Structure 1
Amino acid sequence: MSFFGKNIRKIRSVKTLSQQSFAELFDLKRGTLGAYEEGRSEPKIETIIKIANYFSIPIDDLLTKELTVNKLLKFKGNLTTNHKDLNKEVLASVPCITQKNSQDYIAFYDKNPFVNTMPCLQLPINPEKTFRGYTVENLEMSKNDKGLFPKDVVIGEYVPNKVFKKLNNGILVLVLFENQLILRRLYITSQEMVLRADHKNVEEIAIPLKKIKELWRIRYVFYHRIPDFQDGIEEKLQFLEQEFAKIKSSL
């Protein structure tokens, strides 16, 4: 009696294949495969060879040894989960502008040797696009205890200068011009870019389009603290309940 039935049942378990799915791989009927697994029938040599070749398992091992899960995982081919053979997910590597390196970035933003030495974030975003991380340093994009605060991190997607005029007004951007890095909301006119802060006491900045060295459209935000997603709704409901209670008591 061979170990074929037990081994193919174990292969199915490792590969999380149903009897029907496994049978279809080798042009078998589900009932025939069930008979093999239960030892009620022995396969043809052609079937043994197909299965052994498909999973890169020696025929002798498939027939004469009870394969363990550990042994099965060491075989190459379609069955492997060896970390060297698996297709690893490629995360985007995002160079990050921090308070310590921001001045160096302003000076060497277009020098690849410098960019390659910047600290990076590994993120599950499109690795085919170019991004920059930026650590917020001030309160310019805060308003009424909301918005962006120091140590929050924004992730910007690179925008070529030929696309500047196609951007929607009001989006959040990181702009490099002259000797400054500015995180603001964007408003485009025919010849210049107006950058406005959310904070009411910060004046807007107008920059000629030709003076902009880099522009990054903010796509993602990582908050240094947990933001208040309730937006004051609970407090408003409590206030309304109190007001209804007053009205009810006065009737």
Structure 2
Amino acid sequence: MSLVSENIKYLRKLHHWTQGEFAEKINIKRSLVGAYEEGRADPRLNNLQNMSKLFGVSVDAMISRDLTGKTHEELEALNKSSGGMKVLSITVDEEDNELIDLIPQKASAGYLNGYADPQYLEDLPKFQIPSLPRSGTYRAFEITGDSMLPIRPGTIVIGQYVDSIHDIKDGRCYIILSKEEGVVYKRVFDYTKEHGQLFLVSDNKAYSPYRVDAGDVIEIWEAKAYLSMEIPEYADDDLSFEQLKNIVLELQQEVIKMKG
């Protein structure tokens, strides 16, 4: 049997799950679990990722390291030493293309409990954006509040999954899922080496920055795009409405002269 086969079998038994119970948790057939454990089939990437999330170990560890004999504590330490972030569950279409799961405002509270549950993700709205690079994994979040103006409440922010907390680029916008705060959208600064914390900053200066312990962070998504139903109004330093009308009138006069 291959290394990944041995690891799947060992980790399942370590959690005291039958093949049927394990199959149900990652939404596959029991017979497929048997094929994986006996080395008769190799797990697809999305199934490996779902197993990784469920076991609390990275995909890299599952396919490249001998995990047999390790305790829960040793596996947890192994995960932390690799940079921290767990691999998440994903959903795909019939052609095995990844879909973007949308977390609406009304579902964001439940996301803290359901982010690792394939059934929870299965019930979420899904869509695709062809222009996004296919190398990344994306999720969309409908944001609330006015802490990140001019991005307004109700805007859908599309984030790309960040594999490690150490990949954060200071000052960029991220969606953070943490045990204490749930889902938030902020600018993030990495002070994990100095203080073991992330500093979260709002674009709206009426909101004070605050800190989140690195150990409480569950998922990080770097903001890559957003969808909004509101067209931005002119800012104070942009053209006034009257100025804009005058420009249109001047253009009309020029067109009349050209026709003459």
- Residue 94 (structure 1) shift: 0.6
The amino acid across from 2:229 in the alignment is: H
Residue correspondence of structure 1 range 164-179 to structure 2 within 5 A: 164-179=165-180
| Displacement after TM superposition at 1:211 (Å) | 1.5
Q: Which amino acid aligns with 2:144?
A: E
1:183 is displaced (CA, Å) by 0.6
Q: Residue 186 of structure 2: which of 184, 187, 199 is its match?
A: 184
Q: Does 1:97 align with 2:100?
A: no
Matched, 1:202 2:207: yes
- Count of residues paired in the alignment: 144
Q: From the superposition, tell whether residues 207 and 230 of structure 1 become closer, same or farther in structure 2 (CA, over 3 Å).
A: closer
Give the Cα separation in 1 of the matches to 2:234 and 2:137: 30
Q: CA deviation at 1:92?
A: 5.0
Q: What is the DSSP-based 3-state SS (H/G/I as helix, E as strand, rest coil) of the residue aligned with 1:188? A: strand
Secondary structure class of the residue paired with 2:184 = strand
Give the superposition deviation at 1:165.
2.5
Q: Counterparts of 2:223 and 2:157 in 1: how far apart (Å)?
A: 6
Q: Partner residue of 2:157?
A: 154
Residue 90 of structure 1, CA deviation:
8.8
RMSD: 2.6
Q: Is the 8 A contact 1:93 1:127 kept in 2?
A: no
- Cross-structure match for 2:140: 133
Q: Which runs of 5+ in 1 are unaligned?
A: 1-88, 239-251
Flag the 1:231–1:169 CA change in 2: closer, same or farther, 3 A: farther
CA change 1:229–1:216 in 2 (3 A) is farther
Residues 91, 122 of structure 1: 8 Å contact kept: no
In structure 2, the gaps of 5 or more residues are 1-94, 244-260
After TM superposition, list the pairs within 5 Å mapping 1:70-89 onto structure 2: none
Larger gyration radius, structure 1 or structure 2 = 1
Deviations 1:174-201 (A, max 9, x none): 0011141111001111221000111112
Q: Distance in 1 between matches of 2:96 and 2:225?
A: 19
Cα distance in 1 for residues equivalent to 2:176 and 2:234: 28
Residue identity in the other structure for 2:127: L
TM-score w.r.t. structure 2 length?
0.50
- Identity level (%): 22
- Give the secondary-structure state (helix, strand or coil) at the position aligned to 2:120: helix
For residues 134 and 234 of structure 2, what CA distance do their matches in structure 1 show?
A: 30
Q: For 1:28-71, what per-residue CA distance to the aligned partner results, in whole angstroms no more than 9, with x for missing partners?
A: xxxxxxxxxxxxxxxxxxxxxxxxxxxxxxxxxxxxxxxxxxxx
Q: In the aligned structure 2, how far is the partner of 1:157 from the partner of 1:131?
A: 4
1:219 to 206, 224, 229: 224
The 8 Å contact of residues 91 and 123 in structure 1, kept in 2 or not, is answered as no
